[in-house]
Amino acid sequence: MSIKHHLTEQLLMGYAAGTLPEAFNLVVASHISMCDDCRAALAAYEALGGAMLEDSCAEAAETDLSPGSFGACLARLDTAPADPEPAPPAPTGPHTLPEPLRSYVGGDTDAIRWRPVGGGVKQAILPTSRAASARLLFIPAGSAVPDHGHRGTELTMVLQGAFSDETDHFARGDVEIADEDLEHMPVAETGQDCICLAATDAPLRFRSWLPRLAQPFLRI
């Protein structure tokens, strides 16, 4: 698989540190399960973070601190919240959804409970924390998502098919990272329906009045 659009350093570092919203973690875990380059980069960030924490404890041992301070620092290695574990490489099976995502859905695409959002496009909202939302999107081949902008960050990972917008072409495994500066209208490639995993930390900004009217009900 040739993946062209990868995760940023900021996303990988945030995932390694455990500071990303759950919805963003899901996208990162799904991507690294399919991308050797990003999985290797994540391992390097995790190793760097562990080394920095060990160095800070060693420095504390050489400083005139109150009794028990060094022991408390070492204890942080065992009591700190666990960082997200890197996803394993994708298995060589006929799965559309990578393993981290299949665990959320409870199976592959046949387990998804789609809900129509208009124009043939369907979505399935996934259970995550309120800091950001995650959803699966089904876009029929040749169809478009309504033109929209962003009030925050949107991560969109292609799971099946492909789509194009004003910036580039995105195929299976690719991640598009959209921010407040991007306004676009993704169009699914002809020949195969497009399925994506999308995570947003703020509502989208639609131009057309109809999507704006339906937005509160569709939770987008």
Q: In the predicted model, what is the mean pLDDT of residues 160-164?
A: 97
Shared domain check, 36 and 132: no
pLDDT at 88 over 50: no
Show the domain range for 15: 9-79
Share of the chain above pLDDT 90, in %: 60
pLDDT at 37 over 70: yes
What's the CATH code of the domain at 198?
Answer: 2.60.120.10
What's the CATH code of the domain at 13?
Answer: 1.10.10.1320
pLDDT at position 119, please?
A: 85
Q: In the predicted model, what is the mean pLDDT of residues 19-30?
A: 97
- Cα 136 off chain centre by: 11
Q: In the predicted model, what is the mean pLDDT of residues 159-171?
A: 96
Which one has a higher pLDDT value, 218 or 38?
38
Q: Which amino acid is at 118?
A: G
Phi first, then psi: what are they for 139, rounded to 5°?
Answer: -120, 115
Strand partners, 133: 200
pLDDT at 101 over 60: yes
Shared domain check, 202 and 112: yes
pLDDT at 87 over 80: no
Shared domain check, 207 and 109: yes
Gap between the Cα atoms of 126 and 97, Å rounded: 14
